[in-house]
Amino acid sequence: MAEFFSVPFGMNISENGTPAIFKLIARSIPTFRLSVTKPKDTYGRKRPYVRFNEPTSIPWDEERERNTGSYPSGHTIRGWGLALVLCEVNPDHQNEILKLGYEWGQSRVITGYHWQSDVNASRLMAAGVFARLHTSEEFLSDMAAAREEYQRLSGGQAAIIELTPTPSATAQTYNINGVPVSESTNGVVIKNGQKVIQQ
């Protein structure tokens, strides 16, 4: 998950390269994951592919997941939970991080492993767990260390590199990775050296 979320986060997250951020993830994500254990056992909801006896786009997981509860979605609570955690570390990239967190859950509906209501419930649960974590001194300490590490490694700026306009590039529009895009591109873009949101 750290590898996937490194892209929208704007910085490679690893145990050696970003130990404080990695520690925050390693200690908080199990809490999100464990919160779905009892509801899964309680409701025992059949997964869509089991209910309709249809194949999924991840066939190698079908037998292993066949008799596990569908409601709520463990993948979604981990993905949305991690997105919430990383947004607090790097709020400048919240749009990109939340987009991946959202897609992480929706992919489970697309593959046939979850109903939409499984995913919706997990996002709600993740918000509750995230709020509860903020009452833990250990979590707050880990968060403070992760934020400090991010600020230090990013030079105290957002991970998006600000482009300095030049006479030949003043009108150019870039995406957050610095790749030229159309002037009408929607979302977060960099225009004339400034980060802007276009809709």
Q: Which of 47, 93, 114, 123 is catalytic?
A: 114
93 classed as catalytic: no
Residue 17: how many other CB atoms lie within 10 Å: 13
Q: How far apart are CA 5 and CA 117, in angstroms?
A: 24
108 classed as catalytic: yes
Q: Which of 75, 78, 93, 123 is catalytic?
A: 75
Q: Which of 47, 108, 123, 142 is catalytic?
A: 108
**And the tokens for 102?**
């959202």
Q: How far apart are CA 22 and CA 9, in angstroms?
A: 13
Q: How far apart are CA 24 and CA 47, in angstroms?
A: 31
Q: Which of 93, 118, 123, 142 is catalytic?
A: 118
Query: Residue ranges of the alpha helices (H) in 58-182?
Result: 62-65, 74-89, 94-111, 116-133, 137-153
**Bridge partners for 174 per DSSP:** 180, 190
66 classed as catalytic: no
Q: How far apart are CA 95 and CA 131, in angstroms?
A: 20
Instruction: Using alpha carbons, select from 114, 147, 104 the residue that is nearest to residue 7.
Output: 104
Name the residues annotated as catalytic. 75, 108, 114, 118
